């Protein structure tokens, strides 16, 4: 029996890669890649936190503010791993969704988790009369600029949002205590302070870092909708969920309006 030779033009069949007509455009792919990396970063952070429990945290159990700084440091390490070395989780998720390999330009692109959170433009306008901060409160606020800038960079939120929350919450009074026992510049209740790793709520740096961390979580939870994030900060995320939006509380509505007015004030003062 004669051997049958098959003539295959390798160049014809293999020179060009298979083309994938993706249903996602460039912008959508960037968002999917960011989300995949954020998920990988979150899992990495959880792993680091679990490992650090056996040693009392990265900075030990007795260090001043060690809980808060351990959390910040864990997040930064997790983000760095996700952005550089990678555990491969983001790659698997990206391919599962798009059917394509996660390209290097997307893998090493700085994601929203470690850059500034994107705010929805339609949610930043106040609903009623203008409110401006007093000159005395602005003078007090200036003392905390370094802590505010650090918090903004650590958690990816605009420094002016942090300033506006501080002004609405305490008028930059570090010793402020509300009737609900919320304390300090960003008026943290004890349970939230504990969750955010704050040991001394009256320490300006700890309070600002803890409050900014919590607000950043709310902002991400509500996809950059600042009104919903502020509503959750003021009335609790359970009430936002209950009413499927901003709760119908006058206090919460006035609070949101005040913060947004202050935000406009700080933004305009920079122009």
Q: So which residues are the catalytic ones?
A: 169
Give the CA radius of gyration of the chain: 24
**Integer Cα distance of 243 and 238 in angstroms:** 9
Q: Could you count the other beta carbons within 10 Å of the beta carbon of residue 13?
A: 8
The CA-based angle 121-228-232, given to 5 degrees, is 145
- What does the DSSP 8-state code read for residue 185? T
Tokens representing residue 184 in the block: 């300090």
Tokens representing residue 226 in the block: 């600042």
SS3 183: strand
Cβ atoms of residues 138 and 160 within 8 Å: no
């Amino acid at each position: 029996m004669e051997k049958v030779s098959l003539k295959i033009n390798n160049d014809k069949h293999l020179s060009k890669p298979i083309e994938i007509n993706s249903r996602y455009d460039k912008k959508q792919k960037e968002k999917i890649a960011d989300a995949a990396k954020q998920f990988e970063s979150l899992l990495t952070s959880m792993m680091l936190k679990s490992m650090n429990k056996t040693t009392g945290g990265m900075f030990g159990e007795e260090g001043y503010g060690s809980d808060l700084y351990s959390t910040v440091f864990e997040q930064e390490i997790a983000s760095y791993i996700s952005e550089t070395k990678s555990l491969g989780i983001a790659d698997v998720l990206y391919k599962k969704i798009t059917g394509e390999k996660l390209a290097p330009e997307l893998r090493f692109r700085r994601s929203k988790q470690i850059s500034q959170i994107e705010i929805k433009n339609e949610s930043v306008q106040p609903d009623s009369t203008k409110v401006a901060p007093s000159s005395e409160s602005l003078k007090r606020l200036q003392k905390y600029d370094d802590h505010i800038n650090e918090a903004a960079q650590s958690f990816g939120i605009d420094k002016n949002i942090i300033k506006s929350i501080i002004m609405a919450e305490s008028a930059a009074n570090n010793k402020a205590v509300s009737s609900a026992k919320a304390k300090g510049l960003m008026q943290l209740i004890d349970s939230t302070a504990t969750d955010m790793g704050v040991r001394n709520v009256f320490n300006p740096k700890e309070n600002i870092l803890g409050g900014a961390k919590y607000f950043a979580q709310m902002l991400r939870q509500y996809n950059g909708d600042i009104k919903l994030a502020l509503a959750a900060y003021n009335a609790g995320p359970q009430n936002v969920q209950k009413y499927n939006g901003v709760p119908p509380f006058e206090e919460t509505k006035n609070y949101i309006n005040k913060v947004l007015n202050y935000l406009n004030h700080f933004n305009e003062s920079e122009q």
